[in-house]
Amino acid sequence: MRTLSALILVIALLILWDVAWWLGFGVSPLSPWTLKQMVNQDNAPVIIDVRTPAEFEAFHIPHAINVPFPATLAELAAASPDPTNPIVVVCMTGHRSPPVVRQLRKGGYTDVMNATWGMLAWKLFGGEVEAGK
């Protein structure tokens, strides 16, 4: 019973974290299943992966660009120079990426989303991954 209560508490806190970023700072959440549909379209978003280089090399979404957190706006802008291009920011669990989404929005980027629950959800929902740089 304690394990179930702890699991429910963790899930509630994760949801609260996402809602707080969304409502408090305008960070748009993007579900893994919606991202799966988007990456297979002709106008796929730029995917900025803010995990460490070691995490990125272990596995990442194909065509993602690694810009480790924390990064300057100039480093992030190098991944997508056009501020009107759609961008999805991803990390391992969805907790490093919201500040980066906010940073890009403050820097003039208009279509920036946070990959909800990060790479863990991406893999859990069967998203394609590759290893290496």
- Asked whether the predicted pLDDT for residue 11 surpasses 90, the reply is no
Provide the token pair at 27. 């960070």
Cα dist. 24→27, 99, 101 in Å? 8, 12, 13
User: For residue 16, what is the enclosing H or E element?
Assistant: helix 2-25
Compute the average pLDDT of residues 110-119.
Answer: 94
34 pLDDT exceeds 70? yes
Per-residue pLDDT, 29? 86
CATH 3.40.50.720 given to domain 2-124: no
Q: Look at residue 23 in the predicted model and tell me its pLDDT.
A: 57
Q: What is the mean pLDDT of the chain?
A: 90
Residues 45-93: tens digit of each pLDDT: 999 999 999 999 999 999 999 999 999 999 999 999 999 999 999 999 9
Residue 95 banded pLDDT, cuts 50, 70, 90 = confident
Residue 114 CB-density burial (10 A; 0-12 exposed, 13-18 middle, 19+ buried): buried
